[in-house]
Amino acid sequence: MKNNLRALRTGLGWSQSELGARLGVSRQTINAIEADRYDPSLPLAFRIARLFERPIEAIFEDDPSPAALPIPAGGRGETCPK
């Protein structure tokens, strides 16, 4: 999941450690999120959005690749029972 967390954090002059402390997570977690190596949990994503006073969608961008899309009900290519 792509994000603009680094730009938001540096725009306020905060270090990764400071942001982590404000969110209750480690500096390493912030680093991993910024480097797109870790997708935050939904509760953490909400805390980030509240802290920066922005909607989650303004901070995180979903991966539009076909592999990231959910499989429709009924499995691959199957129709749903009526």
Extents of the domains making up the chain: 2-52
Pull the structure tokens for residue 1: 């999941």
* pLDDT tens for each residue of 2-40: 999 999 999 999 999 999 999 999 999 999 999 999 999
Half-sphere exposure at residue 16, Cβ-oriented, CA atoms within 13 angstroms:
11
More confident residue, 69 or 17: 17
More confident residue, 64 or 35: 35
Buried b (16+ CB within 10 A) or exposed e, 59-70: bbeeeeeeeeee
Between CA 28 and CA 20 the distance in angstroms is: 8
Instruction: Enter the pTM of the model.
Output: 0.76
What's the mean pLDDT in 61-78? 63
Cβ(3)–Cβ(33) under 8 Å?
A: yes
User: CA geometry: angle at 5 spanning 32 and 41, to 5°?
Assistant: 60
For domain 2-52, give the fold: 434 Repressor (Amino-terminal Domain) (1.10.260)
